[in-house]
Chains A and B, each alone.
Chain A
Amino acid sequence: GAGVSQSPRYKVAKRGQDVALRCDPISGHVSLFWYQQALGQGPEFLTYFQNEAQLDKSGLPSDRFFAERPEGSVSTLKIQRTQQEDSAVYLCASARASNTEAFFGQGTRLTVV
């Protein structure tokens, strides 16, 4: 596709449920980033990949968060045993190379009830 695609756009999860968020980057983009954005805040870095390699996962808030990009294209962010504090918009971005501008998907709005 022409842009970064994320699914689902909206997700309501019961506390304790596992969720999986999908990101389809722009074709050929090497770098892929995941961010968490709370209302009124800037996007907070979670993790990033260069091709299939996860080069930095320092932003993942706990071991309940896991991300993968097994073939260097589509990525999945998984959150296990969701908590209310996980409620946020999860943004995915991709970039052609490691120091070029990133393009964002529309995000997945996760609400944990």
Chain B
Amino acid sequence: RKEVEQDPGPFNVPEGATVAFNCTYSNSASQSFFWYRQDCRKEPKLLMSVYSSGNEDGRFTAQLNRASQYISLLIRDSKLSDSATYLCVVNMRGSSNTGKLIFGQGTTLQVKP
């Protein structure tokens, strides 16, 4: 089982739609969680951190469920420019008690006009 799992998609949605991505992680001791966005042939860029209480940034909402070891990202009112791959990232605790960042496979979103 991979340490961080995502549905690779692709998710094809019309402009204006609401879309949700899910991610599960295996290490219950994980402490930090992030969503990154990666455009084709570009490096990943931070979209938002994920906090225990959930957090929102404009049209984007991230949720964390520690009991189920589950992270989600909700995008409202999708724009064409949201088309990208969304990567779930978890900070894993290692034997040295410091974390390494583990990425999921990524979920591809294609927003159509």
Contacts and interface: CB of A to CB of B under 8 A. Distances in A.
Contact of A43 (B44, B46, B94): B44
Nearest to A53: B96
Contact of B31 (A35, A44, A56, A99): A99
Given A55-B96, A56-B94, A103 B101 contact: no
A43 B49 CA distance: 18
A84 interface: no
Interface string A66-110: 000000000000000000000000010101001111111111000
Given A43-B44, A103-B46, A56 B100 contact: yes
B32 interface: yes
Contacts, number: 55
B43 A45 contact: no
Contacts of A50: 98
B34 to A, nearest CB: 6
Given A42-B103, A55-B94, A98-B91, 19 more contacts: A33-B101, A41-B105, A41-B106, A45-B100, A50-B98, A55-B98, A55-B100, A91-B43, A91-B44, A93-B101, A98-B99, A101-B46, A101-B49, A102-B46, A102-B101, A104-B45, A105-B43, A106-B42, A106-B43
12 contacts: A35-B103, A43-B87, A45-B100, A48-B101, A55-B94, A56-B94, A93-B101, A99-B32, A101-B34, A101-B46, A103-B46, A104-B43
Interface of B: 6, 31-32, 34, 42-46, 49, 87, 91, 94, 96, 98-106
Interface of A: 31, 33, 35, 41-45, 48, 50, 55-56, 91, 93, 95, 98-107
